[in-house]
Amino acid sequence: MKNSAQAFGALPDGRATTLYTISNQAGMTVALSDYGARIVRLLAPDQRGALADVALGYDGIEPYIDNDECHGAVCGRVANRIAGGRFSLGGKQYQVPKNAGDVALHGGINGLHRRLWHAEPLPGGVHFSYYSEDGEEGFPGGLQLDVLYLLGEDNILSIHYEAVSDADTFVNLTNHTYFNLAGHGSGDIHDQLLQVFASFYTPVDAALLPTGEVRAVAGTPFDFRQAKPIGRDIDADCPQLRLGGGYDHNFVLDKPERDVLSLAARAVDPASGRAMEVWTTQPGMQLYTSNFLSDQPGKDGARYTKRAAYCLETQCFPDAMTHTHFPSPVLRANVPMSSRTEFRFR
């Protein structure tokens, strides 16, 4: 296992950022920035051992500051959407800054993806930590966050999340990497195969907020129980797909029980045979097909356009503070929480 670190540019206030790179014996490589505790590069082998960078991203820190697509970042405190940016807890009302119309998205204007984390390199990984002050972005409680990325010789990249608060609060953490298993600059992902181990999903309204319904995927474009090309149904005449311009929905994972590490999804690039499995302890997973990416420059001279990638965001369900029948994202005072997600390349 090889580890290295290099300068990655400075934030507007002058603070330096660093890029940490870890490689295993097979050549699989992950590069991680302390700005947003994010994945910047992810080189993974195909069936012949040929490597390709399968994560969209940028060559330096400036585009991550200027753009708000959360490329590769840890999102929170509450990932995904909160209706009106409002919630109540313990009889008190709270307001998170809205940054997507009348919605707070991925923790508000300055969520965790816009924070500089403390980084500690470890053998085969990096430990990122951040203390979110009571009231930061409107959330209650002083929150200690720890995220550990580990790369194994078995080509598994695991992400371990831990959090503890000094007051009751809400926490829903995810990773927002944009994947393209053919390579980050290879065009759209319509022909790539995806299987999602979910019999139900949560429909959305015009603001892409869950309606509260839990609907069966059978007989709908959301049925990925058998592997199919992502583009097969993406433009179907379906009201749910029209709302987001493609998939931007939470899937209710078929799990034996919450907090058990289980298979959530499997993606394959047919041309290279490169395959990735997503395993998680979380109850849900957002499939987002980069419907809102516009033509923009990426790393290595690539250009990223609509549907150039897909995100597989393991999570609690969106806006779960509104829909109390959803799995709860409440974190009780002084009761640690943890979750784990793995990206297994085959």
Average pLDDT for 247-270: 95
What torsion do the CA atoms of 71, 75, 80, 81 make, to the nearest 10 degrees?
-110
Out of 176, 184, 249, 323, pick the active-site residue.
176
Whether residue 296 contacts residue 290, with contact meaning beta carbons closer than 8 Å, is answered with: no
Query: What's the gap between Cα 258 and its chain centre?
Result: 19
Percent of the residues in the chain that have a pLDDT greater than 90, as a whole number? 97
Active site residue 176: yes
- Helix (H), strand (E) at residue 61: helix 61-66
How far apart are alpha carbons 269 and 61 in whole angstroms?
29
**Considering only 27-36, 198-207, 289-298, which range has the smallest mean pLDDT?**
289-298
Active-site residue, selected from the candidate residues 249, 313, 323, 342: 313
Encode pLDDT of 65-97 as tens digits.
999 899 999 999 999 999 999 999 999 999 999
From its phi and psi, is residue 324 left (phi > 0), alpha (psi between -120 and 50) or beta? alpha
**What's the pLDDT tens digit per position in 204-257?**
999 999 999 999 999 999 999 999 999 999 999 999 999 999 999 999 999 988
User: Distance between CA atoms of 324 and 210, rounded to whole angstroms?
Assistant: 12
Please report, for residues 153, 222, 316, 320, 342, the alpha-carbon distance to residue 200 in angstroms, rounded to integers and kept in the order given: 34, 9, 14, 16, 22
Q: Please tell me whether residue 65 adopts helix, strand or coil conformation.
A: helix
Catalytic annotation present for 113:
no
The sign one gets for the Cα dihedral 163, 316, 80, 44 is positive
pTM to 2 decimal places: 0.97
Report pLDDT for 294: 87
